[in-house]
Amino acid sequence: MPITDNTPKKATADDAQPVSRTLARAFDDDPMMRWFFPDDSSRGAGLGRYFTTLFTRQYVHHGVCERTEAAAAFWVPPEGQEKAVPDAETIQELQDILGDRAPLFRDAVKAAAEHTPDEPHWYLAVIGADPATQGQGHGAALLRSGLAKADAAGLPVYLESSKPSNVPLYEHFGFTVREELQLPGGGPTLWSMRREPRTPAAGRR
């Protein structure tokens, strides 16, 4: 695949199609998404609808959404976290997309929410890059952009990941594992991670 522009820019509602398409590709091998969408033949379409719903109904309104030509990230600052909770219509839409996996999704979201820190923080809700552009720095560029905003606010960052290979990647950017959770219903392991805010004097990696 040719080299694509990895400069972060704001993602708007008009970007829903490329953003959801990119994230569907990025999360195709994610353990939690494979648990929610176990059918290989329909996973891509299901993930596309799932991320379109989250983006257009939640994060584009209450979060900080950025994208490159081959990646996307949804962040939620402290002031947006109460509003970013899905409303009844969004929940219904997600349940329709997930079908008989909806109860597993609901239980997983509830279990993760019980471990969310009480302190003010930035939350990295979603980040993913098209695997066809691996090595071009798209995910790292979006990660650095969001972390810079959290650092400017002097706030820690929190995330969850169900992909073991992503844990050392996040550790490289200053995150540490807070907890290792086993999702209910035989779900995958979820690592909750936290990163302390950095000041310019502390330098960056």
pLDDT in tens, 123-139: 999 999 999 998 899 99
**pLDDT exceeds 50 at position 176:** yes
**pLDDT exceeds 50 at position 205:** no
Sequence-ordered list of residues with C-beta below 8 angstroms from that of 16, at least 6 positions apart, any chain: 52, 55, 56, 60
pLDDT digits (tens, 9 = 90+) for 68-78: 999 999 999 99
**pLDDT exceeds 80 at position 4:** no
Q: Identify the CA nearest to 193 among candidates 204, 169, 203.
A: 169
DSSP-derived pairing of the beta strands 189-195 and 175-182: antiparallel
Which domains, ranges and CATH numbers included, belong to the chain? Answer: 9-202 (3.40.630.30)
State residue 2 phi and psi, 5-degree precision: -65, 155
Prediction pTM value: 0.92
* CA distance linking residue 130 with residue 139, whole number of Å: 9
